[in-house]
Chains A and B, each alone.
Chain A
Amino acid sequence: MNTRSQVLLWGAQRASAMVLALCVIVHFITIIYAVRNGLSAVEILGRTRGSIAWGGFYFLFVAAVAVHAPIGIRNICVEMGWRSRGVDVLMFVLALTLAMWGLRAVWAVVL
C-alpha cells in the first residue's frame, strides 16, 4: 500500500473514532432509557420502525464501525509482522462483512 493510502487510512480511522465516540454515548443513553420498564421487542420496534432518525443514526454507527475496526486490526497485523498485500485484502473483506451484518440489522429494526 502506498504512503498516501496509509495516511488516508489513518485519517479515516481518526474521523470514524470521533463519530463512534458520539454514537456510543447515544447508544448507552438509549440502552439505559430503553430498559427502564424492562426490555421488549415490541418496545424496541415501536421506537425504530419507520423512524428515519433512528435509521440514519444506526446507519452512521454501522458505517463508522466498518471503517474503524478493520483499520485498527490492520495496524495490529502490521505491527505483529504481517505486512503483505494479503492483510489489506482481508481487511477490506472484513469491512464489507461488518457493513453487511450491521446494515442487515438496521434494515430489520427500521423497515
Chain B
Amino acid sequence: MTEALQNLFWILIFPGFLFTIVLGLAACWIVRKVSALVQWRVGPPLFQPFYDVMKLMGKETLIPQDAQRTVFIGAPLVGLAGVLLLSTMLWRITLAESDFVGDVIVAIYLMILPSLALILGSSASANPHATIGTSREMKLVMGYELPLVLAFVVVIIKTASLVEPGRQLSLVAIAQNAPVLSISGMLAFLASLLCIQAKLGFVPFDIAESETEVASGIIIEYSGPLLAIWKIMQAMMLVALPLFLVMVFLGGIGRSGWSLVWGIGKYVLVLVLIILIKNTNPRLRIDQAMKFFWVYCGIALVAAIILASIGNYYGINWL
C-alpha cells in the first residue's frame, strides 16, 4: 500500500508531473529571457509562462465542426502522457539509480510520442493550414529520427568496452562515462543536439509551427485548455530532452554535492546552446531541413560510427 502511494507520489508530484511542469515552465522562461537579452531588450517577468498556462486554462474551448472529435481531444493527452512517462523514467534513473536493461530503447520510443501526437492532432483538425503543418511535421520526423538513433548507437558502441556485457543498454551504465570527450562522441553530440532542436520545434527547424507562414500550422485549431496541454507538453519536453542528452553524452547528473551542481550546470549548458542556435539562425525550408539531416548529419554519423568501432576494437578511447 505504501509502495503504491510512494510510486504515485513519484509519478504525480516529485519528480514526475508537478515538478517537471514547474521546471519546464521555468526553462521556458529561461529561453524567452535569454532570447530577449540577446536581442538587447528586457524579457518577460519570471512567472510569465505560468500566467500563459493559467490564462489558457480559463478560456473557452472551441472545436471545429468538421474535426474528428476523439482524436482532436485525445491527441494532446497522448502526447502529455508520453512526455510524463519519459520524464518520470529519467528522473528515477537519475535520482534513485534504478534502471533496467534496454531502457535507452524505451526512452527513444517514448520520445517519438509527442511528435506523433502533434501529427495526429493536427490531422484531426479540418483545416488546410493544419494539413500543411501535418505533412511538414511528418517529413521533419522522418528526417531527424534516423540521425538521432545513429547518434545513440555511437554512444552504445563506445560504452560497450567499458561495462560488462549485457549492461550496455542501461542508462545508469551509460551515464557513468562522458562519450563527448572523443571525436566520434563530439560528432554524435552535435548531430543529436540539432535533432533535439528539431524535436522541440525551435528555429531553425520550427517548420511545422511557423506562425507567419501557415498561421501556426499544427496547432491552429486548438484553443483554451487543449492548447494549454500542448504548451505544458512542450515545456516538459524542454526538461526531458536536454536531460536525456546530458545523461547519454555528458555524463549524467550526480546525486549530491558537487556532482549535483556540476550536473545542473551541464543541463543549463545544453539549454543555452539550444537557445543560441535558436536566436542566430533563420528558419529552414522543409526540403533544406531533410537534406541537412539525411546528407550532412548522416555522413557525419556514419563516420562517427566507423571511428567508434575502430576505437572500440583497438581500445583507443579518444576515437
Question: Are the chains A and B members of one assembly?
Answer: no
